[in-house]
């Protein structure tokens, strides 16, 4: 008898499909009454020697860490006396597909090749798809990429269409979809139908690949005699931050892990109307906050990307500030890069203004650029969608209605997300999913809640008790 393709039935088979398409049985990591063992999940990831060997074979990693002297001078020119940290930039655009995502794709696709799969499938906004396609091409595997490209009128943003072009140029078959909740459903259906490997969002191997970024940053800054005050990481689904933070921790580098997202407050990511009224397809609060609060919302039963476990600070930037940072990097340093990495650059610029001039801030990634990713193309598209383009104070920007380009670099200022509120929301979600009684909570369960929310174990029960009184 053929299996039901109804949405609920396919999603209910998620664990079964994942076991078939990756070889991972997620049920072994579940701990009834306590959540699951994240440590055991990550212990199943490839070890460091293996990661380094795979990356070396596929020509991934060992990207340069660049000192942005002219940008740093601009930081100091708009900072109070004695302030203005130096910014360093990890140039991940030097990877084969032009982004850090080649690190995670390399491990996933190599695993598929080694296990004898004929092809790989990934659901992605684009950059990861290009990385999977590049690694599949290197290893002679077929590649299918599912990508949300259009609204219901089949209008696509220039940035997304550029990513689509990039995936196809690297040999992938791209299945272009309209915006909606069906992306992971279609992904799971295709995995069942083809028997291909799930080069998934965040299986343990993907996080292990990104850990190499942390190892490299630690080694490079140590070689330079630098102990960075902060590493700023563009945050969306959480894998970038999780992997890099784990790598830094493994190397013993003590630094502040700072998330950065574009503030798209008020826009809904699954909304047909809102889809083309935002100028950033990733690295924004529409993904960053939901995935921080509830990471298990993708095609994997348990997401190995759990950013809230590692996040020390969370900065928000405006769309106009990211476009400004993109032009600033090109004009002052001769480095033209795409938008996602420049999200963290804009945040790092603002953060550096508040730190002593003797300190250093690392921007953890860049990405390749292309015609559709350029600010000119994106701003022209935004204007065509009825979004006003203005010059002034980015604080006045209203997502979906306006993009405000800073009229001075002094306008790039620190704006913090309410990280404590995010942690509280995650804690409330964990408690509701647990379904037990507060007075019966074990020390093990409290410890799990504390690890998931990056809170002290001693505050878990008091916080929940206060929550229940509301």
Whether the Cβ atoms of residue 257 and residue 311 lie closer than 8 Å to each other: yes
What is the structure's pLDDT at 310? 98
What is the structure's pLDDT at 18? 82
Q: Which of 316, 260, 289, 293 is nearest to 452 (CA)?
A: 293
Write the CATH number of the domain with boundaries 55-95+205-411: 3.40.50.1100
Residue extents of the structural domains in the chain = 55-95+205-411, 430-468
What is the structure's pLDDT at 1? 54
Angle between helices 419-434 and 285-293 (to 10 degrees): 50
Length of the chain: 470
Kind of pairing between the strands at 142-150 and 119-123: parallel
Residue ranges of the chain whose pLDDT lies below 70 = 1
Strand blocks (E) in 165-250: 173-178, 197-198, 230-234
Question: What's CA 31's distance to the chain center, in Å?
Answer: 27
Number of other residues whose CB lies within 10 A of the CB of residue 432: 8
Spatial distance between the Cα atoms of 115 and 255, rounded to a whole number of angstroms: 38
What is the structure's pLDDT at 179? 84
Tell me the per-residue pLDDT of 178-188, one tens digit each, with 9 for 90 and over.
887 788 889 88
What is the structure's pLDDT at 175? 93
DSSP, residue by residue, 325-351: HHHHHHHHHS----HHHHHHHHHHHHH
Tell me the per-residue pLDDT of 95-127, one tens digit each, with 9 for 90 and over.
999 999 999 999 999 999 999 999 999 988 778
What is the structure's pLDDT at 85? 98
Spatial distance between the Cα atoms of 462 and 451, rounded to a whole number of angstroms: 16
Spatial distance between the Cα atoms of 242 and 263, rounded to a whole number of angstroms: 20
pTM as predicted: 0.95
Which tokens go with 165?
């072009």
């Amino acid at each position: 008898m053929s299996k039901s393709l109804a949405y609920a039935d396919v999603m209910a088979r998620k664990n079964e499909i994942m076991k078939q398409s990756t070889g991972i049985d997620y049920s072994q990591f579940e701990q009834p009454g306590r959540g699951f063992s994240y440590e055991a999940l990550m212990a199943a990831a490839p070890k460091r020697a293996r990661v380094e060997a795979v990356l070396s074979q596929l020509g991934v990693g060992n990207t340069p860490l660049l000192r942005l002297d002219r940008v740093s001078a601009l930081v100091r020119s708009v900072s109070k006396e004695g302030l203005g940290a130096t910014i360093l930039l990890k140039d991940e655009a030097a990877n084969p597909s032009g982004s850090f995502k080649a690190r995670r794709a390399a491990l996933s696709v190599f695993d598929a090749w080694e296990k004898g799969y004929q092809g790989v499938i990934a659901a992605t906004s684009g950059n990861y798809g290009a990385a999977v396609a590049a690694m599949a091409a290197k290893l002679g595997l077929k590649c299918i990429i599912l990508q949300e490209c259009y609204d219901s009128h089949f209008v696509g943003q220039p940035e997304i269409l550029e990513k689509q072009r990039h995936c196809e140029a690297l040999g992938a078959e791209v299945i272009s979809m309209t915006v909606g909740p069906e992306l992971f459903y279609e992904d799971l259906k295709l995995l069942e139908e083809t028997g291909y490997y799930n080069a998934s969002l965040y299986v343990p191997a993907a996080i292990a690949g990104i850990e190499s970024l942390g190892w490299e940053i630690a080694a490079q800054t140590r070689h330079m005699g630098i102990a960075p005050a902060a590493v700023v990481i563009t945050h969306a689904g959480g894998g970038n931050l999780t992997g890099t933070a784990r790598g830094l921790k493994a190397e013993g580098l003590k630094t502040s892990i700072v998330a950065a997202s574009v503030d798209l407050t008020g826009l809904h990511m699954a909304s047909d109307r809102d889809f083309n009224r935002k100028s950033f397809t990733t690295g924004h609060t529409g993904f960053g906050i939901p995935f921080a609060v509830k990471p298990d919302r993708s095609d994997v039963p348990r997401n190995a990307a759990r950013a809230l476990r590692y996040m020390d600070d969370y900065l928000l930037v405006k769309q106009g500030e990211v476009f400004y940072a993109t032009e600033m990097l090109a004009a002052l340093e001769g480095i033209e890069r795409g938008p996602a990495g420049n999200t963290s650059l804009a945040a790092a610029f603002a953060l550096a203004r508040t730190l002593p001039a003797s300190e250093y801030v690392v921007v953890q990634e860049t990405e390749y650029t292309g015609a559709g990713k350029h600010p000119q193309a994106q701003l022209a598209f935004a204007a065509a969608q009825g979004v006003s383009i203005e010059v002034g104070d980015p604080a006045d920007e209203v997502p979906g209605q306006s993009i405000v380009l800073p009229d001075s670099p002094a306008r790039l200022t620190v704006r913090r997300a309410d990280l404590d509120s995010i942690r509280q929301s995650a804690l409330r979600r964990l408690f509701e999913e647990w379904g037990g009684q507060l007075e019966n909570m074990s020390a093990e369960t409290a410890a799990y809640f504390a690890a998931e929310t990056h809170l002290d174990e001693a505050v878990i029960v008091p916080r929940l008790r206060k929550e229940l009184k509301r």
